[in-house]
Amino acid sequence: MNPTAGSFIINPRLQRHFFMMAIGFPEQSSLSTIYSAYLNKHFSKFKGTIQEQIGPIIKGTLQLHAEVERSFRKTAQNFHYEFNVRHLTNVFQGLLQAKQEAIVEPDNLVKLWVHEAERIYGDRLVNSAHLATFKGLAAELVSKSFSRFNLKKYFGANAEPLIFAQFVGGLDDRLYDQFANAEALAARLAEALREYNDTNAVMDLVLFEDAMKHVCKISRIISADQGHALLVGVGGSGKQSLTRLSSFICAYTTAGIMISSTYGMGDLKTDLQNFFMKCGVKDEGICFLFTEGQITNERFLVYINDLLSSGEIADLFQAEDVDGIVNNVRPAVKSEGLLDSKDNCWKFFIDRIKKNLHMSLCFSPVGDAFRNRAKKFPALINCTVIDWFHAWPEEALLSVAAKFLVDVEMASDEIRTGIEQFMPYSFKVVGQFSDMIMDQERRAVYTTPKSFLELIKLFKVMQSKKEGDLIASKEKYETGVIKLTETGEVVAKLEDELKIFSVEVEAKKKTADEQAEIVGGEKAKVEAQNAVAEDEAAKCFKIKVEVEAQMASVQGDLDAALPLVEKAMAALAGLKIDDFRMLKALNNPPGDVKDTFTCVLHLLAKVDPGVPVDARGRLKTEKPWPTALSLMKDPKAFLETLNGYKEKIDTDQVPDSNFKAIRPTLSLETFTPENIATKSAAAAGVCDWICNITSYYDVFISVEPKKLAVASAKETLAAANNKKAEVDALVADLNAKLQVLLDQFSVVMKEKNDALAAAEKCEKKMNLAQRLVGALGSELDRWQQSIIDLGEDLKVIIGDVLLASAFVSYVGPFNKSFRDKIIYENFVEFFKVNNIPMSPVANPLGILADEATVAGWNTFGLPPDQVSTENGAILTNSERYSLIIDPQL
Amino acid sequence: MPKDIEFSVENGNPVLIENMGNGIDAVIQPVYSRAVIKKGKTKYIKMGDKELTLHPNFNLFLHTKLSNPHYPPEIQAECTLINFTVTEAGLEDQLLSLVVKKERPDLAAMKE
C-alpha cells in the first residue's frame, strides 16, 4: 500500500501488466450458506425454537441490506453510504455475541437481531429523516417476517429504546443483554458516571436519552475485538465526553495525544509504541481518543489507517524492539499452548493489540476535510463502526437546560419553565437564522450544543453577578434609610436626655453655689481668727524683743561688773596663809587693819555662821579683832568663804545692811589697799577684795531693778505666748473645719462639672445627629424611591439578563438586521408569550454596558454606531474568548 | 507564538492574534477552548506538554481580515464570533460623526 496515502489509483501503465478481476456482491444463496454455517454452529446448543429463527433472520438481514442499499445511495455528501458484505458480516458478528444466559426465548434473538441491524445500518445515517426511513424499513420487515413477536413498541413515534449492552447486570458484568427499560439504563449510566467522577476529573454530563444511547453504542463498538468507533458530529455534541465514559465502562484507559507546536510523526510514533506496549505486552485495555483537531499533519492518518485496518503498523517498531516484544510475550504464548516461534509470538502480540487497543475517532461532518480524508484513508470508514451524532433533539436541550438551571433561584415555576424553554427555543431560532444567512450571504454560522451550554453558563454567571449587584445596592439603600430613621429617633431621645441633663445640672449648680457660700463664710471666720492670731504673734514678738533688750542690758551691766569680782578674786588669790598667821600674831593691829577685818566681819554677818549677829542681823561684837582672828583660825576656809562670797551676792544671800555698815570705813581716805599694804599684806589683799566686792555689790544692786523688770517682762511674754497658742489652736481647729468644707465643696464641684460635661457631650452628639438628619433628609425620599426601583429591577433582572446573555452568546456573527430580527422579533416575543419578566423596553445593551463605558470605548476609537457598540458589549461580556471578523481593519 | 501565549496565560496579559486564516493553530486549541483543569483553587491549562497556571486576567482575542471566513463549528462553539463588518447604516453613523466633528466641533464636544 502506498505509504503516503491510503487509497490510490493504479496507473494504467502498471495495470496493463495484470489481469483485472472485479469481485461483485455475492449471490444471496452463497451469503445464506456462509452465514448459516456460522450461526448454526453458534446456536447449536440453544433452544430449538431459537434455532428455528436462524433461517428467517439470515433472510431478513439480506432483505434489509438490499432495502438499505437501495434507499441510501452514496453521494458526495453522504460518501459513507456504502453497504457491502462487511456490514452484513458485522450484523452476524453481533448476533454471535448471543449467550444462552441472555437469549432464552426466540424473541430475545429477534430483538438482538433488530438491535444489531440498527447499530450497523442506522447509526451511520446522517440525520433523523434518514433514520426514520430506516426504522420504517426495519419495522416493515419485522412485521412481515416476525409478526408473531410483539416488537411494535420499539418502532414508530415514542418508541421504547431497544438497547443491548454488556453492562446490563452491572458495570462489571460482561453479559450482552437487553436493558429492560429506559429507567434501568439511566440508573446504570448514572452509576457509571458517578464512579467515573469519583476517580477522574469531574464531567458534568447530562445523560438524556440520546446521550445514553451513544454511550451504549460506543461501548458496544470498543468492547468488540478490533472494534474502532468513528464518531461524527458537530463540535460540542459530547463525542469526547461520551467516549471517556464508555471507555470507563469498558474498563479501558482513555489515552490521547497531546499536540504541541513541535508534535510530529516521531512523537505520534512514540505515543503509538507506548499504546502498543501497554496493550500487547501488559495486556491492558486502551481507548485511543483521537480527534480531528489533532491531525496537524495529514500523514498521521497513515498510521491510523494501518492501525484500523490491520492492527499492525508497518514500520512502527525497529527490529530490536520487535525482538524485545517477542521475548516479552513468549511466556504468554507458551502458556496458551502455542509454539513460541517468532512469528507466533508477533501474531500473538498483534492479536492482543486487536483485542485491547480501540480507537475512538472524533470527526466533524462539516466541510470537506472529513470527506477528503475518508477518501484517502478508506479504513476510516471501512474498518470502523460509525456512530453519527445528530443534532440534539429539543427534548435533550430542555432537559440539559433544566439540569443546569436547577440551582438558579427563580421567583416562580412559571418563570422557570419559561426560561428553560427559552434555551432550546433560542438555539432553534439561531439555527434557523444561521441557515438564512447561509442562503442570503453565504456566511457560515454554526451553533452547536457547546454554544448552547455556553449560553446557559453565561446566563448563570451574569445572573448571579447582576442580581448580586442589585441586591447589594438595594441593601445599601435600605441600610441608609434605616440609619436615617434610627438617627431621627436618636435625636429625639437625645433631646429628652438633654432636658433631663440640664435640670440635673441646674440642681447641681445650686448645691455647689450653696456650698461655696458656706465655705466662704467659714473662710472669713478663719481669716478673722487668723488676723487675731497674727496680732497676738506680733505683740508677743514685740514683748520678746523688749525682754531681750532688757536682759541684754542687765547682762551688760553684770558683765561690766565682772572685772571687779575678778579683781576681788585676784586680791584674795594674792593672800597667803602665812600672811594670816602674821595677822594672828598681832594683838593690837593698826587701825586700818582692824577696820579692814571689821569690814570683813560686817560683810560676813549672816553669811558665815562664825560671825555673831544681833537680832537685826547686824554684827554684834565689841571686839571685832579677836572675832576676826577666830574667823581666820583656819585661813583656808576663810579664803574659801571670801571666794564664795560673790555667789552669795548673786543669789541674794547677803543682806544690804552688811554693806551699809562698811560704807563709812570705805569712805576713809586711808582705806586703800596701798595704804594698808604698808601695815599688813593680808589686810591689804582683804581690803582690795572688800573694795572690789563692794563695787560689785553696788553694781549688782543697781542691776537688781532691771532684773526685776526683766522677770516681769518674761512673765508678760509667757502670758502673751500662751494667748498666742490658744489663738493658734483655735485657728487650726477652724482650718480643719474649713478643710472638711472645702473637701465637700470640691466633691460637689466635681459632680457639677461632670454633669456639665455629660450635658455638653449629649448636646454635641445631638448636633451631629441633627446635622446628619438635616443633610440627608432630602435623600431619604430619593433612597426610598431607589429601593422601590431596585425592587422592580430585581423582579425583571432575570429576563433582562437572559436576553442579554442570549445576545452575547448568539448574535455576534450576524449583521445588524439579523440581530434585530433575532432579538426583537423572536426572543422578545417569546418572553412576552411565556410571561418571562423583563423591562418594558428590551435593551440588552443596557445590561451589558453603561453609558460611561461606551463613551470610554468611543474615546479609544470605537465608532459610535449601534453595531460597533453591540460588538463592544459582546466582546467585553463574553465568557468565551472572542474571534473578531473585521475585514476593514 | 506559543512562548508568548504561555507567558501571557501565566502572567495575565491579553493576547491579540491578528490576521488569522480560516483555521486556528491546533497548538493553542486548549487555550481558546478553555480546557481548564482545576486543582484546588488554581486553574491550569495544559498546552502541549506544559501545564500553565491560568491567570484570571488573561484574555485572548483572535482577529481575521477575511470578510467571510468559514470557521468550523468547533471553533465557533469555543469562541464568540463577532462580526465587525461595517453595515451601511453603521458607516452612515460613523461618517456623520466625522462630519459633525469637522463642521460643528462644539456639538461633538458636547457629545463627548
pLDDT in tens, A538-578: 888 888 888 788 778 877 877 777 777 777 777 767 766 67
Helical packing angle, A106-121 and A128-145, nearest 10°: 150
Tens-place pLDDT, residues A389-431: 888 888 888 888 888 888 888 778 888 888 888 888 888 888 8
Q: How far apart are CA A355 and CA A279, in angstroms?
A: 8
Domain boundary among A344, A367, A391: A391
- Cβ neighbors of A511 (< 8 A, separation 6 or more) are A748, A751, A752
Tens-place pLDDT, residues A213-264: 899 999 888 888 888 999 998 877 788 889 999 999 888 889 888 887 788 8
Tens-place pLDDT, residues B66-110: 888 888 887 888 888 888 887 777 778 778 888 888 888 887 777
Tens-place pLDDT, residues B43-77: 888 877 778 888 888 888 988 888 888 888 878 88
Tens-place pLDDT, residues A824-840: 888 888 888 888 888 88
In this prediction, residue B81 carries a pLDDT of: 87
What is the dihedral sign for C-alpha A137, A139, A144, A145?
A: positive
B59 contacts in chain A (CB < 8 Å): 881
Q: Is residue A256 part of a domain?
A: yes
Looking at every residue in chain A, the average pLDDT score rounds to 82
Say if residue B77 is in the same domain as residue B89. Answer: no
Residue of A nearest to B17 (CA): A883
Say if residue B39 is in the same domain as residue B54. Answer: yes
Q: Is residue A514 part of a domain?
A: no
Q: What confidence tier does A311 reach under pLDDT thresholds 50, 70, 90?
A: confident
Looking at the DSSP assignment, which residues form a beta bridge with residue A289? A360
In percent, how much of chain A has pLDDT > 70? 97
Average pLDDT over residues A482-510: 80
How many angstroms away from the CA of B48 is the closest CA of chain A?
4
Asked whether residue A737 carries a pLDDT value surpassing 60, the answer given is yes
How many angstroms away from the CA of A294 is the closest CA of chain B?
7
**Domain containing A598 — which CATH number?**
1.20.920.60
| CB of A75 less than 8 A from some CB of B | no
Interface A–B counts its CB contacts (< 8 A) at 191
Tens-place pLDDT, residues A684-730: 777 777 777 777 777 777 777 777 777 787 887 788 788 888 878 88
| CB of A235 less than 8 A from some CB of B | yes
Between A9 and A221, residue with greater pLDDT: A221
Residue of B nearest to A366 (CA): B72
Q: H/E element holding A363?
A: strand A357-363
Residue of A nearest to B21 (CA): A885
CB of A762 within 8 A of CB of A497? yes
Q: Do the Cβ atoms of A865 and B49 come within 8 Å?
A: no
Nearest Cβ partner for A885 among B69, B77, B97: B69
| CB of A882 less than 8 A from some CB of B | yes
Asked whether residue A289 carries a pLDDT value surpassing 80, the answer given is yes
Say if residue B74 is in the same domain as residue B97. Answer: no
Q: Say how many CA atoms lie within 13 Å of A620 toward its Cβ.
A: 9
Q: How far apart are CA A600 and CA A605, in angstroms?
A: 8
Q: Closest Cα partner for A621 from A642, A638, A600, A636?
A: A600
Q: How far apart are CA A553 and CA A547, in angstroms?
A: 10
Say if residue B65 is in the same domain as residue B108. Answer: no
Say if residue B30 is in the same domain as residue B55. Answer: yes
- The residue written with cell numbers 442579554 in the block is A804
Tens-place pLDDT, residues A569-602: 777 677 666 776 777 767 677 777 777 777 777 7
Cα distances (Å, whole numbers) of residue A413 to A468, A603, A805: 21, 152, 21
- The residue written with cell numbers 486576567 in the block is B57
B70 contacts in chain A (CB < 8 Å): 367, 444
Nearest Cβ partner for B77 among A235, A884, A886: A235
Average pLDDT over residues A317-332: 87
CB of A144 within 8 A of CB of A97? no
**Domain containing A372 — which CATH number?**
3.40.50.300
In this prediction, residue A131 carries a pLDDT of: 87
Number of domains in chain A: 2
What is the dihedral sign for C-alpha A556, A557, A558, A560?
A: positive
| CB of A310 less than 8 A from some CB of B | no
Q: How far apart are CA A209 and CA A215, in angstroms?
A: 10
Say if residue B41 is in the same domain as residue B17. Answer: yes
Per-residue DSSP letter, A161? P
Number of domains in chain B: 2
Asked whether residue A3 carries a pLDDT value surpassing 70, the answer given is no
Domain boundary among A711, A737, A765: A711
DSSP string computed for A579-614: HHHHHHH-SS--HHHHHHHHHHHHHHTTTSTTS-B-
Say if residue B44 is in the same domain as residue B20. Answer: yes
Asked whether residue A505 carries a pLDDT value surpassing 50, the answer given is yes
How many other C-beta atoms are found inside a 10 Å radius of the C-beta of residue A389? 21
Between A158 and A6, residue with greater pLDDT: A158
Say if residue B42 is in the same domain as residue B9. Answer: yes
A444 contacts in chain B (CB < 8 Å): 68, 70-71
How many other C-beta atoms are found inside a 10 Å radius of the C-beta of residue A379? 20
- The residue written with cell numbers 582692824 in the block is A594
Burial of B2 (0-12, 13-18, 19+ CB in 10 A): middle
Asked whether residue A139 carries a pLDDT value surpassing 60, the answer given is yes
In this prediction, residue B112 carries a pLDDT of: 61
Q: What confidence tier does A6 reach under pLDDT thresholds 50, 70, 90?
A: very low
Chain A, 358 to 417: residues with Cβ < 8 Å from chain B are 364, 366-367
Q: Do the Cβ atoms of A450 and B60 come within 8 Å?
A: no
Asked whether residue A4 carries a pLDDT value surpassing 60, the answer given is no
Nearest Cβ partner for A815 among B27, B85, B93: B85
Average pLDDT over residues A471-481: 85
Q: H/E element holding B59?
A: strand B59-64
Neighbour order of strands in the sheet with B42-47: B36-39, B42-47, B50-53
A817 contacts in chain B (CB < 8 Å): 87
Domain hosting residue B10, numbered range: 2-81
How many angstroms away from the CA of A79 is the closest CA of chain B?
20
Q: Do the Cβ atoms of A446 and B26 come within 8 Å?
A: no
**Domain containing B59 — which CATH number?**
3.40.50.300
- The residue written with cell numbers 448476533 in the block is A95
Q: How far apart are CA A836 and CA A851, in angstroms?
A: 26
The b-or-e profile of A600-629 (16+ CB within 10 A means b, else e) is bbbbbbbbbebbebeeeebbebeebbebbb
| CB of A436 less than 8 A from some CB of B | no
The residue length of chain B stands at 112
Residue of B nearest to A889 (CA): B65
Q: How far apart are CA B34 and CA B28, in angstroms?
A: 10
DSSP string computed for A468-517: HHHHHHHHHHHHHHHHHHHHHHHHHHHHHHHHHHHHHHHHHHHHHHHHHH
| CB of A785 less than 8 A from some CB of B | no
Nearest Cβ partner for B73 among A234, A812, A817: A234
Q: Is residue A588 part of a domain?
A: yes
Say if residue B44 is in the same domain as residue B62. Answer: yes
Q: What confidence tier does A7 reach under pLDDT thresholds 50, 70, 90?
A: low
How many angstroms away from the CA of B84 is the closest CA of chain A?
5
Say if residue B54 is in the same domain as residue B19. Answer: yes
How do strand B50-53 and strand B42-47 relate by DSSP bridges? antiparallel
- Calculate Rg over the CA atoms of chain A: 72
Position A441, amino acid: E
Domain boundary among A327, A356, A391: A391
Position A769, amino acid: A
Looking at every residue in chain B, the average pLDDT score rounds to 82
Q: What confidence tier does A8 reach under pLDDT thresholds 50, 70, 90?
A: low
In this prediction, residue A1 carries a pLDDT of: 38
Average pLDDT over residues A171-196: 85
Nearest Cβ partner for A812 among B72, B73, B80: B80
Residue of B nearest to A883 (CA): B62
Asked whether residue A383 carries a pLDDT value surpassing 80, the answer given is yes
Asked whether residue A804 carries a pLDDT value surpassing 70, the answer given is yes
What's the distance, CA A524 to chain centroid? 70
Domain hosting residue A301, numbered range: 223-391
How many angstroms away from the CA of B107 is the closest CA of chain A?
15
Q: Do the Cβ atoms of B82 and A882 come within 8 Å?
A: yes
Between A605 and A192, residue with greater pLDDT: A192
Q: Closest Cα partner for A672 from A692, A657, A697, A652?
A: A692
In this prediction, residue A158 carries a pLDDT of: 72
Residue of B nearest to A458 (CA): B80
Cα distances (Å, whole numbers) of residue A560 to A51, A549, A556, A566: 178, 16, 6, 11
Asked whether residue A34 carries a pLDDT value surpassing 70, the answer given is yes
Say if residue B8 is in the same domain as residue B50. Answer: yes
Say if residue B8 is in the same domain as residue B54. Answer: yes
In this prediction, residue A243 carries a pLDDT of: 92
